[in-house]
């Protein structure tokens, strides 16, 4: 038996998504920038996908720009949002994804911005009073805070942050890579200027995503070349990926309520089983449903000689999980998120992340294997 509990890193692609992608691969091969019949046919496919995504998010198709994924979307929003709007102060947190942190730190290093970090509590929640102080005491700011943390699952009050940014005339970029397709995003109501998405986090294909840019904000391209994406992103569109992403998001919205209930049930069950079988276990970040992403459970186990080998032992026992962000795999540097919230570095931490394809039987299998791997005192 092989159990995949690393869905925050990437999700299995939905068979319905594969079906629509294969149809385009086999039958619609023109370049969407070409003016002949085959080109126009593919251009139509791309624009129908854009309209599908925009309708689901309650926004205009003109505000959706296709990218190679979440990292490009984040980089475009941050670099272009800051530079093209003459902003010299940015606010973020120390537990953002590296696509955000590394980009902002590089801009700070080059002297383009002054970078401030909002305070966090011991569970990794944003201190909104600290955010307001930073907004109040600095010139116009660019705020970049993620909707849900990819390692510990904490949820941001996007509406509250949006209201604060509006009050202080700040631009607000929200990385929604972990939550797109898992929660409703009404972009007409949210006071957010940039939103990033990666299709492979919601049972879509890898290598494609989108950036929402509010029509009130003007930016120049990050990638220059042709006139694709209304002159906003040079390069021939990833047509198959775009079609797959639109289908994946459509499925996610149609099945959202039942998936939330089902997957939250798996997370709650695993938490209960861990507590019952490992008395000294603890959880990183928020775990209450209303404050935590229902797909992520970050667990710290008691310190032991097996700590450094836990992921390896899980793997050879048929369990795929993560010790943190997948983007840091192979690195000997500990999780910057767990360090940022002051987690005990001596306790091995594992991120289990769930999806609609997981089962209660798989959770039972994982618990039994953990009991074999981790010594539990009687």
197 is catalytic: no
Q: Cα–Cα–Cα angle for 317, 322, 326, nearest 5°?
A: 135
How far apart, in whole angstroms, are the C-alpha atoms of residue 231 and residue 224?
8
Write out the E strands in the chain: 3-4, 64-67, 89-92, 114-117, 141-144, 171-175, 194-198, 209-213, 282-283, 296-300, 319-320, 349-353
- Report the sign of the C-alpha dihedral through residues 197, 200, 201, 203, in that order: positive
Among 80, 165, 174, 327, the one annotated catalytic: 327
Max CA separation in the chain (angstroms): 74
Task: Name which of 193, 234, 297, 183 is nearest 68 in CA terms.
Answer: 234
Task: Name which of 187, 182, 175 is nearest 251 in CA terms.
Answer: 182
CB 143 within 8 A of CB 91: yes
- Report the sign of the C-alpha dihedral through residues 191, 196, 199, 200, in that order: negative
Six-digit token string for 372: 């074999």
How far apart, in whole angstroms, are the C-alpha atoms of residue 370 and residue 374?
6
Six-digit token string for 289: 């449903």
* Residues noted as catalytic: 327
């Amino acid at each position: 038996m092989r159990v995949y509990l690393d869905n925050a890193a990437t999700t299995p692609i939905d068979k319905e998504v594969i079906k629509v992608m294969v149809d385009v691969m086999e039958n619609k091969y023109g370049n969407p920038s070409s003016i002949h019949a085959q080109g126009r046919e593919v251009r139509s496919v791309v624009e129908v996908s854009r309209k599908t995504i925009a309708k689901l998010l309650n926004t205009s198709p003109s505000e959706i720009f296709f990218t190679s994924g979440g990292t490009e979307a984040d980089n475009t929003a941050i670099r272009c949002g800051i530079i093209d709007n003459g902003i010299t102060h940015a606010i973020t947190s120390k537990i953002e994804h590296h696509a955000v942190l590394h980009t902002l730190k590089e801009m700070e290093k080059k002297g383009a911005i002054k970078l401030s970090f909002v305070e966090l509590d011991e569970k990794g929640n944003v201190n909104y009073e600290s955010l307001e102080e930073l907004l109040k005491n600095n010139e116009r700011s660019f705020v970049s805070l993620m909707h849900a943390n990819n390692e510990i699952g904490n949820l941001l009050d996007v509406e509250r942050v949006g209201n604060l940014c509006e009050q202080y005339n700040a631009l607000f970029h929200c990385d929604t890579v972990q939550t797109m397709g898992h929660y409703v995003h009404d972009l007409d109501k949210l006071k957010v200027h940039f939103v990033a998405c990666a299709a492979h986090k919601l049972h879509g294909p890898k290598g494609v995503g989108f950036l929402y840019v509010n029509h009130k904000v003007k930016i120049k391209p990050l990638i220059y070349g042709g006139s694709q994406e209304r002159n906003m992103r040079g390069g021939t569109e990833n047509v198959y990926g775009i079609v797959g992403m639109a289908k994946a998001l459509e499925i996610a919205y149609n099945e959202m309520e039942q998936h939330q209930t089902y997957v939250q049930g798996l997370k709650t069950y695993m938490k209960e089983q861990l507590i019952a079988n490992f008395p000294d276990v603890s959880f990183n970040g928020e775990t209450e449903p209303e404050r935590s992403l229902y797909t992520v459970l970050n667990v710290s186990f008691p310190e032991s000689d097996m700590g450094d080998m836990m992921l390896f032992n899980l793997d050879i026992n048929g369990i795929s999980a993560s010790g943190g962000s997948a983007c840091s795999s192979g690195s000997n540097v500990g999780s910057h998120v767990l360090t940022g919230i002051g987690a005990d570095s001596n306790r091995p931490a594992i991120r289990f992340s769930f999806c609609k394809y997981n089962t209660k039987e798989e959770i039972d299998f994982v618990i039994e294997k953990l009991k074999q791997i981790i010594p539990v005192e009687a």
